Amino acid sequence: MPLKRSYWKPAVIGIVAVASGGWLLQQGSDGNVYVKMRMLQDVVRTVSDRYVDEVDPTELYDLAIDGLLERLGDPHSNLLRPEDYSDLRLQTTGNYGGLGIRIDEKDGWITVVQTLPKTPAERAGLRPGDRIVEVDGVSSRSWTPDDAVQVLRGPKGSPVNIKISRIGVPDLIPVEIVRDEIHVEYVTGFMYEDGIGYILHQQFSERSADDIRLLVDELTAEGMKGLIFDLRGNPGGLLDEGVAVSDLFLNRGNEVVETRSRIADQNDTYRATRKPIDPDLPVIVLVDGFSASASEIVAGALQDHDRALVLGTRTFGKGSVQTLFPLSGGNYLKLTTAKWYTPSGRSIHRDRDPDMVALAVPEEQLEDGPDRNALGDAVREVYYTDAGREVFGGGGINPDLVVHGDTLLSVERQFRSELGQDIPAYSDAVFRFSVAYTNEHPSLRPDFEVTHAMFDELYAWITDSGIEVRIDLYEGSERLIHRELGIQLATVAFDAEDSTRRRLVLDRQVATAAQLLRESQTQNRLFALAEERQDEEQAVHQN
């Protein structure tokens, strides 16, 4: 699909202006910029020569650059070192050279959590629960997952020698694995129930639109009559892919998003350019406080054109565009250069404490008190969709139907509270139990039921691991523990689809979306039902 610009593409015009002497022509309130440049050099030289502790001058320049960008007050503008840029490329392409495993630190060791299908790790026989205790002769004790990633990733065709410790095997197992190109699948989909399809999109990459189109076609062939499109927790990614995914559902010519900048060539309006897939298919888009960036472009565009019902909680509000400027030494400057606006004219961006953005934590998650997902009347800027429905501005995308996730029961909250600092150890114990259980039950099927016997076995495993758990709180939290154990068993034993299915158990937002789709044959009927249900949802949340 021809698109005007990716927000990752470099706009080098500013760099040319600087290199051609633009510094010398600008006057600040305190004099010529050239004087300031000389002052910076003098400061760096003096600190390097005279500071009580020796500091490398190159490190001082790095500090100056980081400090400059930090003072902008924009957490999305920063300097990408070569390794940072490599990580960014992985996020946007989904491709890297490696083994094909998901890892985590458990009990002080790097542990395989999942092996990806058709990868070197699977071919070499690695299993969930395997501890990687040595890499190329070096102990991995106390490594962080980031430490392990730096060592285990590498060029396609290059070998890596590891030693693993496996439950039930007394000796270490040496394994040589030849790295290959790995593609991370960010899109998973299946029939949630008869007639209702479900697609989970975890991050926007270069293949997002193609992968989603393929899944929609497959689900339609299986009899899909309504779609749940889950963007919860999706942090965004490429602007072009946000536009391309919106294009799958919108009519040709519909506006998707507008970018506004003080730089003329970044003032653009992006429009759908293709015929939509199944324009009569009722669609519900799920969002939450961690849905950001390109996720908000899609949700906002489909909401403004009345193409989807947006359900969940208010999105993050990351409505700014970053452009990559190539620098010397393989470095890149990632700089905010524009903001995004939905077709109705709403700004997606929501100003907040930079520390919250750095932590990727929505404000609603950090504060107690009344529902902060709903905007107060003082800031409820009213806009209108194509059909005249009211939608609200103020940053982020406000759902058509606010539905909060399932909350913990009081006994479950007390169970968590009593665990306190032992929660990581408890989670590790559930994981290790799941590995041992699946090893002992190789015939376990994806539709397995978590039985009370398994629940009792897990309790014995947890206490044998040295974790103190009150039996009354444990038994009172059976509902929660059954769900956690089911998810962990499915993650260890099966593929992404089966793991995702388990995560949807007791998912109130998905269950609500499915109920609405069962009762709606058209998109307009969905909107009407959602309006009828809003008061009921508010009452449930307040209670």
Question: Do 112 and 170 belong together in one domain?
Answer: yes
**In the predicted model, is pLDDT for residue 28 greater than 60?**
no
Q: What are the percentages of helix, strand and coil residues in the chain, rounded to 5?
A: 40, 20, 35
Q: Residues 134-154: what's their mean pLDDT? A: 91
Residue with tokens 């709403």: 346
Question: Do 493 and 375 belong together in one domain?
Answer: no
Q: Residues 103-109: what's their mean pLDDT? A: 88
The confidence band for 362, taking pLDDT boundaries of 50, 70 and 90, is very low
Q: What are phi and psi of 356, to 5 degrees?
A: -70, -40
Q: Which residues of 260-286 are buried (b: 16+ CB within 10 A; e: fewer)?
A: ebeeeebebebbbbeebeeeebbbbbb
Neighbours of 33 (CB within 10 A): 15
Q: Above pLDDT 90, what percent of the chain?
A: 61
DSSP secondary structure, 362-403, as one string:
-HHHH--SS-SSSPPGGG--EEE-TT--EEE-SSS---SEE-
61 in any annotated domain? no
Q: If residue 68 lies in a helix (H) or strand (E), which one and from where to where? A: helix 57-71
The confidence band for 31, taking pLDDT boundaries of 50, 70 and 90, is low
The confidence band for 20, taking pLDDT boundaries of 50, 70 and 90, is very low
Lowest mean pLDDT segment, chosen from 83-92, 133-142, 168-177: 83-92
Residue with tokens 């040589």: 176
**For the chain, give me the number of helices (H) and strands (E)?**
20, 23
Domain stop point among 357, 376, 402: 402
pLDDT digits (tens, 9 = 90+) for 475-510: 999 999 999 999 999 999 998 889 899 999 889 999
423 in any annotated domain? yes
273 in any annotated domain? yes
User: For residue 543, what pLDDT is reported?
Assistant: 57
Judge contact between 144 and 124, C-beta under 8 A: no
- Cα separation, 522 vs 516, in Å, equals 11
Judge contact between 340 and 349, C-beta under 8 A: yes
Q: Domain with 133 in it: what CATH number?
A: 2.30.42.10
Q: Domain with 312 in it: what CATH number?
A: 3.90.226.10
Mean pLDDT (the chain, rounded): 86
| Position with higher pLDDT, 101 vs 199 | 199
**In the predicted model, is pLDDT for residue 93 greater than 90?**
no
Judge contact between 112 and 129, C-beta under 8 A: yes
**In the predicted model, is pLDDT for residue 378 greater than 60?**
no
Question: Do 362 and 350 belong together in one domain?
Answer: yes
**In the predicted model, is pLDDT for residue 402 greater than 60?**
yes
371 in any annotated domain? yes
What are the C-alpha distances in Å from 485 to residues 179, 422, 493?
32, 17, 12
The confidence band for 394, taking pLDDT boundaries of 50, 70 and 90, is confident
Burial class of residue 74 in the structure, from the number of CB atoms within 10 Å of its CB (0-12 exposed, 13-18 middle, 19+ buried): middle
Let me know if 139 is a catalytic residue: no
**In the predicted model, is pLDDT for residue 374 greater than 70?**
no
Task: Tell me if residue 130 falls in helix, strand or coil.
Answer: coil
Catalytic residue among 130, 288, 304, 428: 304
The confidence band for 35, taking pLDDT boundaries of 50, 70 and 90, is confident
Question: Do 308 and 357 belong together in one domain?
Answer: yes
Angle between the N-to-C axes of helices 423-440 and 478-493, in degrees from 0 to 180, rounded to the nearest 10? 60
121 in any annotated domain? yes
- Cα separation, 63 vs 41, in Å, equals 13
310 in any annotated domain? yes
Q: Above pLDDT 70, what percent of the chain?
A: 87
- Cα separation, 173 vs 311, in Å, equals 49
User: For residue 178, what pLDDT is reported?
Assistant: 95
**In the predicted model, is pLDDT for residue 29 greater than 50?**
no
Lowest mean pLDDT segment, chosen from 28-42, 155-169, 281-295, 421-435: 28-42
pLDDT digits (tens, 9 = 90+) for 236-284: 988 899 999 999 999 999 999 999 999 888 899 999 999 999 999 999 9
The confidence band for 87, taking pLDDT boundaries of 50, 70 and 90, is confident
Task: Tell me if residue 15 falls in helix, strand or coil.
Answer: helix
Q: Which of 312, 309, 290 is nearest to 227 (CA)?
A: 309
User: For residue 379, what pLDDT is reported?
Assistant: 55
User: For residue 530, what pLDDT is reported?
Assistant: 93
> Which structure tokens are listed for 156?
């396609």
Range of the domain at 316: 187-402
Catalytic residue among 77, 208, 293, 320: 293
The confidence band for 96, taking pLDDT boundaries of 50, 70 and 90, is confident
| Position with higher pLDDT, 27 vs 172 | 172
Strands 320-326 and 309-312 come out as: unpaired
DSSP secondary structure, 172-239, as one string:
-EEEEEE-EEEE---EEEEEEETTEEEEEE--B-TTHHHHHHHHHHHHHHTT--EEEEE-TT---B-H
User: For residue 167, what pLDDT is reported?
Assistant: 85
User: For residue 537, what pLDDT is reported?
Assistant: 76
Residue with tokens 């730089």: 263
Question: Do 99 and 226 belong together in one domain?
Answer: no
User: For residue 91, what pLDDT is reported?
Assistant: 66
User: For residue 391, what pLDDT is reported?
Assistant: 94
**In the predicted model, is pLDDT for residue 198 greater than 90?**
yes
149 in any annotated domain? yes
Domain stop point among 381, 402, 423: 402
User: For residue 407, what pLDDT is reported?
Assistant: 82
Judge contact between 282 and 517, C-beta under 8 A: yes
Q: Which of 67, 84, 70, 94 is nearest to 357 (CA)?
A: 70
Q: Which amino acid is present at 12?
A: V
Question: Do 259 and 275 belong together in one domain?
Answer: yes
Question: Do 398 and 415 belong together in one domain?
Answer: no
DSSP secondary structure, 265-300, as one string:
GG-EEEE--SPPS-TT--EEEEE-TT--THHHHHHH
User: For residue 361, what pLDDT is reported?
Assistant: 43
Burial class of residue 317 in the structure, from the number of CB atoms within 10 Å of its CB (0-12 exposed, 13-18 middle, 19+ buried): buried
Catalytic residue among 318, 347, 400, 428: 318
- Give residue 425's region: left, alpha or beta (phi > 0; psi -120 to 50): alpha
| Position with higher pLDDT, 525 vs 34 | 525
Domain stop point among 402, 419, 454: 402
Judge contact between 340 and 258, C-beta under 8 A: yes
Q: Which of 107, 96, 150, 99 is nearest to 129 (CA)?
A: 107
Question: Do 441 and 492 belong together in one domain?
Answer: yes
**In the predicted model, is pLDDT for residue 336 greater than 80?**
yes
**Domain count across the chain:** 3
Let me know if 304 is a catalytic residue: yes
Strands 332-341 and 78-80 come out as: antiparallel
pLDDT digits (tens, 9 = 90+) for 278-318: 999 999 999 999 999 999 999 999 999 999 999 999 999 99
Q: What are phi and psi of 164, to 5 degrees?
A: -120, 150
Lowest mean pLDDT segment, chosen from 79-88, 243-252, 328-337, 416-425: 79-88
Q: Residues 78-84: what's their mean pLDDT? A: 85
Neighbours of 193 (CB within 10 A): 10
14 in any annotated domain? no
**In the predicted model, is pLDDT for residue 85 greater than 50?**
yes
Question: Do 264 and 202 belong together in one domain?
Answer: yes
Question: Do 246 and 291 belong together in one domain?
Answer: yes
Strands 401-402 and 309-312 come out as: parallel
Altogether, the residues listed in the chain come to a count of 543
What's the CA angle centered on 213, arms 300 and 217, to 5 degrees?
Answer: 125
Let me know if 265 is a catalytic residue: no
User: For residue 19, what pLDDT is reported?
Assistant: 34
Q: What are phi and psi of 256, to 5 degrees?
A: -100, -50
Question: Do 256 and 364 belong together in one domain?
Answer: yes
Question: Do 205 and 251 belong together in one domain?
Answer: yes
